[in-house]
Each structure stands twice: as C-alpha cells, then as structure tokens.
Amino acid sequence: MSDTPTSESTSRSEAEEPGTNRPAPGGDTATARQEPQDDLVTTRHTLHTPDGDLAYTATTGRIVLREEVTTDEKYGGRKAKAEMSLTYYTLDDADVARRPVTFAFNGGPGSSSVWLHLGLLGPRRVDSGDVGNLTPPPYGLIDNHETLLRVSDLVFIDPVSTGYSRAAEGEKARPYHGFTGDLESVGEVIRLWTSRHDRWMSPKFLIGESYGGTRGASLAEYLQSRFGMFLNGLMLIAPALNLETLYHADGSDLPNPLFLPVYAATAHYHGLHPGRSLDEVVADARAYADEYRAVLARGQALDDDARAAAVARVAAITGLSEDYVDRANLRPEHTRAYAELLRSQRLVTGRLDTRFTGPADHYTHEVMPGDPFLTAILGPYSAALHHYLRGELEYGNDAVYEVMTGAVHPWSYKEFEGRAIDVAGKLAEAMIVNPHLQVHVAMGRYDGGVPVEAIEYSLDQMPVPREARERVETRTYPAGHMMYVHPEARVQQSADLAAFVERASNR
C-alpha cells in the first residue's frame, strides 16, 4: 500500500568540519576512538499535486553536535557530544532568501518527530484511518497533497534518545533529559542547519506539539537571546505551556474547571447528552466554570445544600454519576474520569483523543490502564516510518528508531524547583523583544490531556501588552491532541498553517 513518489537520483553526503576524524591526542590511528561523522543521505523526488508538481530534495540521517572544551583556561578544540537524527526537505530551485523554513518536533518528553512528520506536515503521510475506521496492518504510506512543503522548507528534529539520536560514544545522555539540556541541543541543531544551509536571511518558523510546545515557546526566546536568531512565527500544536493546568495535584484546584468542557465534550461524543449539540454542552460547561471554581475554593466550608447542588451539576455536565462525583470530592481527576465514564460498557476512553475507546484487561481499574488512542496509532506510524526511511529515503541504520521512549525519564525540571513549570513567560519575553513574532495555536476539542481551556488560560496569563496578545491566533478542531488524525481536521489544519506561514513571512 505504498504510493511512492518519483525518485530521480541519490547521493551520500559526509559533510563534516575539517579534522574532526583525527585520532585522540596521544593515541594512534589504529587504537584511537574515531570521532563520529555526519551520515546524511540525500534523495530527490517529485510530488504530484492537483495544484502542480513539487520537485524537492529530501535528506535524512544524523549530524554530530560538538561542544568547545577548555582545560586550565586553554582551548582544547571541539568534542563530539551527541548525534542527532533529522530529516529535512528543501524545494528545488527556490529563492532561499524568500523561502521560509520550518523546524518541527514533537514532545513527550521522549517522542520522536514522526507524528508531525508523517501525520501532518511532510510530503508523505501515513494511512492510519480514524476512530471507527482504522486502517488494518500493514497500513499504508501515501502522498500528502496538503504538505506544508508547498510554502516552506521543513526540518524534522529528533531530540536526544528519540529517533536515531543518541549521546556520542562515551558520553552520558542524562544531561539532555531535562528542560535546559533539551533546549540547548535542539537549539544547536537549528543553529547548525541554518548556518550550513545559508538560511539566516530566510523567514524562520518553529512548530512543536505537546511538550514540543513547551520546547517551542522556550526556544523562541532562547534562539533570540543566545544566537540573535529572531523568528517570523511560532506554531504550537496542543501546547503544554503551564503544567500546573494539566495535572491534578493536592492543594491545587486549577485544572478542575479547565477540564470540565472536555469532560462534557467526551460525554456528548459517546452519547451521554442525547438531544443536545456539542456546542451547547461545551458552552454549558464553560459557563459553570467560574461558579465551580468558587465552589472548590470554599473547601470544607461548603454547606450540604451547596455541595449537593454542585455534585448534581458536575455530574450532569460530565456524564459521570453523582455518586462518583461525590466520592471524588467534586474533583474528578482526568485519568480516573476516562476510566470511569464508560465503565458500564466495559470500555475506557482515550486520553489524548477521547473519541477513541478500548477494552481494559478488567473493569475495576481506578485509572485508565492505557490510552486506546496511542494503541490505535502506534502501529501505523511505526510501520510507515521504518519503511519510509529505508525504502524511499534510502537511509539504513540498524539501531532502534525510538518512536517513543521512556528512557528520558525522570525528566529534569530543576530550573523550576519550587514553582510551577510554566513557559508562558518565555513566550511572552520572546514576543515583547521581537514585535514581529506571530503565534499560531492549534487545539483539539477532544484533547483530554491538554484541553482547549487549559491552553487558553495559559495564553491569557502571559504578561504581555494587549498588542502582543493580539499576535496570537487560535484554532480549535473537532478531534484530539493530534487533531490531524481526523481527515477533515487535517485538511483544514494544513490550510490554516500554510496561510499562517505565508502571512507571517510577508509582514
């Protein structure tokens, strides 16, 4: 089921800085450890679309990141510290001074870039199907006529320990498994690629999904302050900007009102609000949010009548039973709510896309035992990625391509010790310093991990002048965290992203 685009020629590139493959000091060529080199492979293709042909060059493989070494105040050269896997696409014969370039990554932490790469942005996309109509194995890979390559060159980056990215031989991966190390390594890839391809004068964009939104918002500020690289635009897909809005913790009632609309939408999707429209039930949940917040703030001072009224209201909105809402102390936690909602049907809903459902191994789970959405899409994306890299982009690597890995955990947030993990301030600083920075935010109505209202709250709390806030546009799609799994949403989202890039490139 592979609709392969025309491949015209192939060449290998070993682009490295002079002298990086020399033996270590004091060693000899036979015994010294060899310094790693880039192992990029280039192929050329043509994508046939209804609007005309796109002739493009694809390059994939790994590049080596190096750090400057100083010993006793003496410069000791540059030492390999990591090998980063990436895939990039450039339109043939384009004017690079005017042609935008977009750097893309997913989140996790612990996710490769495969989802945005083969789900939404790249010239080829996976045939995974959607809820209720999933494509069976061995799935498929088809042309993406809506690819963002129509308006921008694309660079997909796999952070250290994801994809084929690894710490260099003899080096530790742990320094990259945290907020700052991750930021600096991905930022270095962007700097290197921009310099090596002479793209400093091109319009530049970032696009990040989920924790990739955390990374993207922070990178916008980091690239400015560290390298003087000012962006034209930042695209955030279901961004986790303030983690306090997303995780239910003792002593914080912040997430509860923000999750209420996605609970309502989920209940509606699964038939628990008969005779009512989606817009109606979501509006009802949003309207109650302020009162709900006040109810929770009263804590044990809430009298019995007020508590009973609140229990009934929350139950009616969420589709959960009054008994369950009461036992949850008016605070249904999301991984528990998704396990509970369809328990009588012996189903759990998805978390990242609550439209999806799946069976559990038994039906007494307090929390959802897994995410049916991730179960549904992991196979199609993994199969497509492995075929694509070897079969079409002609890159062979026997290492495991880590689509998603837990090896990066525990993830370090030491920079936020004693305070909320919130990068909205980083985004605000980037927007204030760069008055031309435009921001596009995509949200999924059925995203039960990063709900629409949690994102809106984070954006509204940014300490920026009103003029800057007006440079943020938002779009909501009728799907989940990876809204492009929904066919109609993908087409609309592709058009919205292309329009944003073209508009922000021409200001």
> Residue 190 belongs to what H/E stretch?
helix 179-196
| Tens digits of residue pLDDT in 461-489 | 999 988 888 999 999 999 999 999 999 99
Average pLDDT over residues 86-113: 96
Identify the sign of the CA torsion 222, 18, 90, 197: positive
Residue 441 to residue 238: CA distance in whole angstroms: 7
The whole-number pLDDT of residue 74 equals 75
Phi, psi of 6 (to 5 degrees): -60, 130
What pLDDT was estimated at residue 19?
Answer: 33
Question: What is the tens place of the pLDDT at every residue in 393-428?
Answer: 999 999 999 999 999 999 999 999 888 899 999 999
pLDDT at 507: 66
Task: Check residue 8 and give its pLDDT.
Answer: 43
Whether 13 has a pLDDT exceeding 70, the answer reads no
- pLDDT > 90 fraction of the chain, expressed in percent and rounded: 84
Average pLDDT over residues 90-106: 95
Residue 23 has pLDDT above 60, yes or no: no
Residues recorded for the chain? 507
Q: Residue 359 — φ and ψ, nearest 5°? A: -80, 155
Q: Is the pLDDT of residue 333 over 60?
A: yes
Tokens of 22: 């020399």
Q: What pLDDT, on the 0 to 100 scale, is given for residue 31?
A: 42
pLDDT of residue 69: 78
Distance of alpha carbon 343 from alpha carbon 119, whole angstroms: 31
Q: Is the pLDDT of residue 90 over 50?
A: yes
pLDDT in tens, 343-383: 999 999 999 999 999 987 777 788 888 899 999 999 999 99
Q: What is the pLDDT of residue 435?
A: 95
| Token couple for 502 | 């073209």
Q: pLDDT averaged over the chain?
A: 91
Across-strand partners of 486? none
- Round to whole Å and give the CA distance between 135 and 129: 5
Lowest average pLDDT, out of 132-141, 276-285, 316-325, 443-452, goes to: 132-141
Q: Is the pLDDT of residue 28 over 70?
A: no
The 10s digit of each residue's pLDDT in 125-137 is 999 999 999 999 9
Inform me whether the pLDDT recorded for 32 exceeds 80.
no
205 forms bridges with which residues in the sheet?
Answer: 102, 233
- pLDDT at position 33 is 62
Domains and CATH numbers, the chain: 6-244+378-505 (3.40.50.1820), 246-371 (no CATH)
Q: What is the C-alpha to C-alpha distance for residues 261 and 255, in angstroms, rounded to an integer?
A: 11
| Look-up of token digits 């954006």 | 459
Cα–Cα distance list, 347 to 182, 315, 331 (Å):
37, 19, 22
Q: What pLDDT score was predicted for residue 360?
A: 77
d(CA 80, CA 66): 4
402: Cβ contacts below 8 Å, ≥ 6 apart: 110, 112, 158, 161, 162, 163, 164
Asked whether the whole model's pTM tops 0.85, one would answer yes
pLDDT given at position 26: 39
Query: What is the average per-residue pLDDT within 335-341?
Result: 95
